Every structure is written in structure tokens, then in C-alpha cells.
Amino acid sequence: KHCKFNPWIPILLGLHMHFSWATTCPEECRCDRTFVYCNERSLTSVPLGLGEGYKTLYLHNNQINNAGFPLEMHNVASVETVYLYGNQLDEFPVNLPKNVRVLHLQENNIQMVSRAALAQLLRLEELYLDDNSISTVGVEEGAFREAISLKTLFLTKNHLSSVPIGLPEELRELRLDENRIAFIAEDAFENVTGLELLLLDGNLLMDEGIAPGALQTLVNLKTLSLARNSLTFPPPNLPAEFLVKLNLQDNQMNEIPLTAFHGLHRLERLDISNNQLQSLTQGIFDGLHGLRQLTVRNNLWLCDCNIKWVILWLKSLPATLNVRGFMCQKPERVRGMVIRELTLELIQCPNSTATVPQPTLLSSSTAESATQTVFTPAHSQPTPNPPRLTLPSPTASKDGEQRTNDPVGPMQESLRVSFAVLNGSCIQVRWVSTFTVTAYKVTWVKQGHSLITGPMQESLVQGEREGITLTNLEPKSTYRICVDPLDVFNHYHPGDDTICSEVTTKSASFHSGDNATGPEQATQHDTSSPFLLAGLIGGAVLVVLVVLLSIFCWHMHKKGRSDSSKWKYSRGKRKDDYCEAGTKKDNSILEMTETSFQIVTLNNEQLLKGDFCIQPIYTPNGGVGFSDSQRRNNSTAYCKNSVPESDTCHK
């Protein structure tokens, strides 16, 4: 008889062998499909009996040392990813799976890296050696070059004093941050011309520590980070062809040469924050055609005549370029002001021949009962000798305020703004414009003796309105108020069309209609004032209400305690009657009932200690209940027509 060949036999045998491989799992581990979980089991060696078919091996957070790698593990061909971080390795391990592609060895105590160990891993592509004890002498020369497929190498937080010699040619990403590197040789990156990302943050690099041509060979580099070093200027000969991101923050740079960024046409992000820069050479950014983000925070920017070009450059930038951090630090009178919004009158130019129109500053005695009018030309451009505008002389009016005539013709003025002090807490700002204005931005800030001391506030007013009343101001305080028109193209022109002036509010007890001529008479008038009498009556009513409310709260508190002492946790209650909260570290459960709003412990063995604060975040309908909106001293309040026309602003 002839045996008929069955084509399904080889297929069934293959499936049987594959199934038998995948079911061979070490006793100490748990296996799930292609994953083997041997992590956090206090293992001192790699478990035996690992079969084929598994791709990912988790061995992290154990106590495995270098003697715990059996030879049979090297022959497991299916494993491609191994997690060995958080163990007790002191050398780069041998006998790892021969086809591993991703290897995690972070948080060990590895001090030695040998060529023989890496020569076993011909397919290794990603190697993570962060947070070990690897030093320059602990890396055998050319060790990493043995891993011929290596593309990503992390050596963050080690003890390296220089770049390891003999890096693999296929390397694309190299992280050497948080080491002790103080020197980069000329040929340090000679064979890694394909490198695209290089991180050298947090090292000991100084200007002389970087060889002139050390970085020039990295012709394909896209990201270079040299933050947190001791550089006083950018390194020379930066790779210019493909560089997209350059980080130079947290150094000691006090100047940047004009040619420092020459040729970086593709650079998109530049960070020079947290240095000691006071000024920049004009034209330093001219060649950066692809720049999209420039960060310059926390430098010692000196806002003198040399900053003029920066102001003009910032105003000419396209919307695609985001610049952050240009803020004056010196001199004191402009400290904290944004450089982009500086006006020529605020910049000190001792040798300048230009005549800049200055705002009229009212003395404290005059500002209490005067209206101040200021003019500005429409869309004026800086000229070598701008014309000086003469303010009209004030004339007295029937109501005691000082008004202005109109000696300036319509062709000479475009925007006229007046500032009227109504009382100790209100200033009225009014304007007349001869050109189309979409909206007005009004900003005001309280000033001290030599610098701005209060939080800057701002309000956006629609163009059809002719004024705004600033309320809740402090008595006898000087405020710098600026009006900035928005043209039909929705563009602001700070410095061109902006009108600023300093106005001082009246004293709290002074009214424009009073006949008092001295402080004593003003005080006597306030004593018999109906407003004072109303305040006393209101205060008395408030005290009575507070007492009644306190009695009610005490009664409810006492009743709530008696009710809550009888109430116990019951799973049978409705779900809406209580809410639970707890974490693994804090197993006490808090409950808030609907009736008494008392916080009680559901664990009778523990007592709640300390103060508790309940702050509603969301209301039942999904809206926001309330939020803390306190502003810091250096914050800006954006009101957008929220400044009320208060009835308390009496003249």
C-alpha cells in the first residue's frame, strides 16, 4: 500500500512546537502572550527555563547581580526587549539574549563597560545606562562601537569627565547630561557624522573646554543642548546645515558675538535664558530666517539707548515668531516693564538729539482738581527730529475743573485724551479720535517713588465708546495711565499712538465741592458728613447681623454633632447621600452629608486631626463654582470691559 502524503502534518507540527515554546515559562515568573513578568520578586539571578516565543522580559526592581546571568539566556533568540533597571549590577552584563534590540539598565551601579559584553549584542539599537557610576576610565576604548546597530545611547547621570572614545557610527541620539564633562576633544565625534541629537546639559564645560572644531563635524545635528554649564559665549563653529533647536540657557554668557549664529538658516528654537546678558548687538538675529521661538528670560537687560533697535525689531516681527522674556531689569524706573511696549520717553539717551514729546506731569496739589489733556499724531513713525507738541493752556470752568481749549487744528492732532480726577478712588479717562479706532487698550499701574510698585491692570474698550472710569484706586496715589488705540487692521502701535500720563488721585476726605481750605476744616466737614453717618449706621447693622449669624451657626453646629454621632456608615444608603475619598497611603475615609455638612470619620479607631477646608470646584450643573483669583504684585489683570461705571465716583 502506498502512503498518501498529508500536507497538514508540517503545519500542525510547527504550531505544536510554537505552542510548546510559548508555554515554557519560569516558575518564578508570570507569562502572558509574548511578555514574561519577573519583576519585583527579590530575585538574585535570572530564572532558568525561559523558552522561545517571548519578546519582552521584565526583570526590573530585583537584586540581580552580574553572576546571575546563565549562559542559556544568551541563546533565547526571540527576546527583543529586556528591562533590568533597579538591580545590583556593577558591570555591563554578559549572556544577555543575543537578538535584544532595547536594553534598560538604569539605576544600577555599573562602573565598567567592556567591549566583549557589547560585542555579543549585534542587533542592539537602544541602550539606556542612566543613573549609574560609569566613569571615563571605566569604559573600554571602542566598547560602544562593538554594538554596530546602536542608534540611541543614554548616559545621563554618570561620572564621565569626557566624551567616550569610539562611539558607534550609526548613532543618532546621544545623551550625556548630568555628568562631569569638562573637555570635548577635536575628534570626539569624528565617526558619528549621522548624530541628530546631542545633550550636554549640566556638565562642567567652559569656553576653553570645547575644541574649536569639536562640533563642526556633526553635519546632520538637529538638536544641541548645552544648558547648565559655564559658557560665557556660544561655542564657535556650530553645525549650521540642519540645526533646528539650540539650548544655551543657564550659563554665564555676558555677550554674544555678532557671528555666533551665522549660517543657522534652519534654526527654529533658540533659548538664551538665565544668563548675564545686558544687551545684544544689532543684527545678531538677522540670519535666522526659520526662527519660530526665541526665549531670553531672566537676563540683566539694560533698557538704555542701546535697546532701541530691539524695540523696533520686536515690532516688526511676523506672527509666526514667538519671542518671550524681553523685560527690563535696569534702570530701576523701568524695571519689570516689557521692552516691546517701551516708549521713547522712557528710554534715557544722553547723547540723543531727538526731541521726544513728554507727557505733562501734574503735581499732587494740581492733580486733585485738574483735567489733563495729551495729544498724539496718528500712526507716527520715528523720525530723527520729531516735532514737539505744545499742550494748550488750561482755562477755568464753572465746575472748578481745568479744561483745555483747542488751539491745535485737526490736521495737527489725531487723538486727544483727557484725564480727570473725580475723587480719591476714581479717575475719568476720555478721548476723541479723528481716525478709525476698533478698540482702545487702557492700562494703569500705581507708581512709587522710583519704580512701578502695583499690579498693572488693563481693560479693552470698544471703539465707539469715548471714555472709561477707573475705579477702586487708592487715595493720594500716583497712577501711570496709558491709552493705546487699535486700528482697523487690529494692530496696536505701542510707542506710536500710545498716550501715557501720570495722574494723582485726591485724598480720601477731599471733595471738589467742599469749601474747606485746610486739613482741619476738611476733617470737621467729614465728621458731619451724611456719608460718615450712613457708614456708622451700616457698621452697626453689620455687627448685629454677624452676631445673629454666629448664634445660628453655633446652634446648627451643635445640632449637627448630635445628629452625626448617631449616624453610621451603611451600604444600604442612597449613593447620593455620601461621597468617599481615600488613598493607599491614607486609608481614613471622609464623608460629607447633605444636611449638616459635617466631616466625620468612618473609621472609629482613628480621629481626624488638623484643619480641613472644603472648596467646591464644580457646581451640580457642571459649571465652575468659584476660583481663587488673587493677583500677584507682578501680574496683569485683563478686564475686557469689566471696569464698572461706579456710582461712587462723585466729583
457: CATH: 2.60.40.10
Winning range, highest mean pLDDT, from 244-253, 400-409, 584-593: 244-253
State yes or no: pLDDT of 452 exceeds 60. no
Using alpha carbons only, give the angle 332, 333, 339 rounded to the nearest 5 degrees: 95
Q: What is the pLDDT of residue 195?
A: 95
Q: Strand 102-104 to strand 599-601: parallel, antiparallel, or no bridges (unpaired)?
A: unpaired
Residue 10 inside a domain? The answer is no
- The CA dihedral of 566, 569, 573, 579, to the nearest 10 degrees, is 110
Q: How far apart are CA 417 and CA 376, in angstroms?
A: 9
Q: What is the pLDDT of residue 362?
A: 36
Helical (H) or strand (E) element with 315: helix 308-315
State yes or no: pLDDT of 453 exceeds 50. yes
Q: What is the pLDDT of residue 170?
A: 92
Output helix, strand, coil percentages for the chain, rounded to the nearest 5. Answer: 15, 20, 65
Residue 294 inside a domain? The answer is no
Tell me if residue 549 falls in helix, strand or coil.
helix
The residue-averaged pLDDT of 287-314 equals 92
Neighbouring CB atoms inside 10 A of 64's CB total 23
Q: How far apart are CA 228 and CA 241, in angstroms?
A: 25
Residue 38 contacts residue 17 (beta carbons within 8 Å): no
Tell me if residue 81 falls in helix, strand or coil.
strand
Domain count, the chain: 1
State yes or no: pLDDT of 492 exceeds 70. no
φ, ψ for residue 610, nearest 5 deg: 90, 180
Tens of pLDDT, residues 103-158: 999 999 999 999 999 999 999 999 999 999 999 999 999 999 999 999 999 999 99
Q: How far apart are CA 442 and CA 469, in angstroms?
A: 10
Residue 486 contacts residue 437 (beta carbons within 8 Å): yes
Residue linked to cell 482741619? 520
Tens of pLDDT, residues 419-445: 888 888 898 888 888 777 778 888 888
CA proximity to 503, closest of 434, 430, 433, 441? 430
The burial class, CB within 10 Å (0-12 / 13-18 / 19+), for 105 is buried
State yes or no: pLDDT of 163 exceeds 60. yes
Residue 100 contacts residue 125 (beta carbons within 8 Å): no
Q: How far apart are CA 608 and CA 186, in angstroms?
A: 65
The residue-averaged pLDDT of 347-358 equals 51
Q: Which domain holds residue 428?
A: 415-505
- What the block records as the C-alpha cell of 207 is 569656553
Q: How far apart are CA 229 and CA 374, in angstroms?
A: 50
What is the CA 144 to chain-centroid distance, rounded? 38
N-to-C CA span, the chain? 123
Tell me if residue 183 falls in helix, strand or coil.
strand
pLDDT band at 560 (very low <50, low <70, confident <90, very high): low
Residue 476 inside a domain? The answer is yes
Residue 179 contacts residue 153 (beta carbons within 8 Å): no
Q: What is the pLDDT of residue 567?
A: 41
Tens of pLDDT, residues 370-408: 455 554 444 433 333 333 333 333 333 434 343 433 433
Residue 93 contacts residue 117 (beta carbons within 8 Å): yes
Q: What is the pLDDT of residue 178?
A: 96
Tell me if residue 585 falls in helix, strand or coil.
coil
CA proximity to 210, closest of 195, 240, 193, 230? 230
Winning range, highest mean pLDDT, from 195-204, 303-312, 533-542: 195-204
State yes or no: pLDDT of 609 exceeds 90. no
Q: Is the model more confident about 365 or about 136?
A: 136
Residue 80 contacts residue 55 (beta carbons within 8 Å): yes
State yes or no: pLDDT of 338 exceeds 80. yes
Residue 40 inside a domain? The answer is no
Residue 136 inside a domain? The answer is no
Q: What is the pLDDT of residue 84?
A: 96
pLDDT band at 57 (very low <50, low <70, confident <90, very high): very high
- What the block records as the C-alpha cell of 112 is 565598567
CA proximity to 239, closest of 257, 273, 263, 274? 263
Residue 65 contacts residue 86 (beta carbons within 8 Å): no
Residue 334 contacts residue 328 (beta carbons within 8 Å): yes
φ, ψ for residue 377, nearest 5 deg: -75, 155
Residue 422 contacts residue 651 (beta carbons within 8 Å): yes
Q: Is the model more confident about 230 or about 565?
A: 230
What is the CA 614 to chain-centroid distance, rounded? 29
pLDDT band at 563 (very low <50, low <70, confident <90, very high): low
State yes or no: pLDDT of 75 exceeds 60. yes
- What the block records as the C-alpha cell of 414 is 489725531
- Find the farthest-apart pair of alpha carbons in the chain and give their distance in angstroms, rounded: 136
Residue 429 inside a domain? The answer is yes
Q: Strand 56-58 to strand 35-37: parallel, antiparallel, or no bridges (unpaired)?
A: parallel
- What the block records as the C-alpha cell of 552 is 445660628
Residue 368 inside a domain? The answer is no
Q: What is the pLDDT of residue 68?
A: 86
Q: Is the model more confident about 392 or about 99?
A: 99
**Average confidence score pLDDT of the chain:** 74
The residue-averaged pLDDT of 493-519 equals 61
Q: What is the pLDDT of residue 393?
A: 37
Residue 546 inside a domain? The answer is no
Residue 118 contacts residue 91 (beta carbons within 8 Å): no
The neighbouring-strand residues paired with 113 are 139
Q: What is the pLDDT of residue 207?
A: 94
Q: What is the pLDDT of residue 599?
A: 45
Residue 164 contacts residue 136 (beta carbons within 8 Å): yes
The residue-averaged pLDDT of 71-76 equals 90
